[in-house]
Structure 1
Amino acid sequence: MINIVIVDDHELFREGLVLVLGQVDNFNIVADYNSGDEFLKQIDPLEVDVVLMDIKMEGLNGIETTIKLKEIKPDIKVIAVTMFVEDSYYLQMINAGAHGFVLKKAGKYELMQAVTEVNSGGNFFSQEILKKMAFKAINKEVEKEKALSPREVEVLKLICKGLSSKEISEELFLSPKTIEVHRSNLLRKTDQKNIAQLVIWALKNNHISLG
């Protein structure tokens, strides 16, 4: 069972998410809140796996809420669910610790996929958002290539597909511990703080394409 909390100040949208996702097998909507402030006040007793977080809200916005949440309960996964397409929001949410992004116009199955993949240790980015990031990266100087080994590049590509360490270990016939070492080395060599940032780095440095 995946325990989910929804934080969004648009009441109709929030209620719609509760209704739609509450009907999905293995999804448990623990609670929903109309502000980051209210959510953080009540987080302690809650058992939460994934938070669907609006970015632009009254009071604490989604970025600030995510930063504070990660300080309190770093293991909780955050997916930004937003109508905004400004690149700065995405980068700030990634730096805050978000594991994925879904636009509010996304369908039920895309949301289900995002929650499932992020909960399993992967990451999820709406293709529309990735394409916007890729377009922005075209006119930027590509970062100096780090000395990645062929195996690290292989692991990097699977990470970018949203696979968890367990799934990558099964794909490459390696132990999960070995994959975790590769993940740590990738973050260190690319100077990225988390897997979401690593995906963006891979995109900018042409290790993945959007087809």
Structure 2
Amino acid sequence: MTFQWIVLLMTYYPEMQQKLRQEIESQIGDRMPTHEDRNRCHYVMAFITETLRFRNVAPFGVPHKAVVRSTIGNYTIPENMGVFIYQGIICRNDKDWENAFEFKPERFIDSEGQFITTRPKALIPFGVGRRVCPGEKLAIADLFLVLVRFFQSTQDYEIVLDSNGGIDADPNNANEFAPIEYKVKFMKI
């Protein structure tokens, strides 16, 4: 599902698609990508991270249980009450993110053009605490490898949204769980 969001976002923002292609070409070229390439592909990593922040595919995470009676603000949570952390809203709230509802990979790039590896507290697409997803590192590594190979295998094409049938695939208006159904076309460059 995350890769579906990635494809939709890169087609919706063709200037970002071009920037991704240029970085992959200059840093990796045609050779098989490695995990070490993530340290050189700053924009690719920022794009993946922003996709995970902007469109979290598991916004509710896993259920927790209050082990003691707790109070948060004016709310009392009884002992043994089931609790969900709504990660989706934390990843997109205006308090923690400037222009939270805009897709901006640059928010994860520093002034020297490097990917910011220090994670902001509000970036929790894989959960938080002891129940954080154990597959987080593998998921990010796989997203990187799949995205790079996808671009390498389509280097002679621009990937565009197919407007056939009047599909409005605007990722900014989609529900947060899955992208609206969309089609892409491969246009020979």
**Common fold: TM-score over 0.5:** no
How high is the TM-score relative to the length of structure 2?
A: 0.25
Q: Which has the higher helix share?
A: 1
Q: Taking CA–CA contacts closer than 8 Å with sequence separation of 6 or more, which of the two structures ends up with the larger relative contact order?
A: 2
Q: Which has the larger radius of gyration?
A: 2
